[in-house]
Amino acid sequence: MEPDTNNPVQPHPLNKKELARKMGISVSTLRRLMIKANLTIDRGLIPPARQLEILNSLGWRELTQVDAK
């Protein structure tokens, strides 16, 4: 099964750069949005559960929806 490149949350950890790219924004924009939302990320990889939490907190809920095809 091929990974879904349209879904920003993959079943594996991503770093900030990869997450920002999947969201279609720059790392600087991701950082700025996270500061505004008072969110922090530890260094290194972001687990999938934390990715969902970040996306939901930033209002990217439409990107976290799973298509029911």
Is residue 69 predicted with pLDDT exceeding 50?
no
pLDDT recorded at residue 1: 45
Please give the span between the terminal C-alpha atoms of the chain, in angstroms, as a whole number: 15
51 token code pair: 């990715």
CB 13 within 8 A of CB 45: yes
Q: What is the pLDDT of residues 27-59, one digit of tens each?
A: 999 999 999 999 998 899 999 999 999 999 998
Q: What is the pLDDT of residues 13-23, one digit of tens each?
A: 999 999 999 99
On whether the pTM is more than 0.75, the answer is: no
pLDDT recorded at residue 39: 94
pLDDT recorded at residue 68: 38
Q: Which amino acid is at 59?
A: G
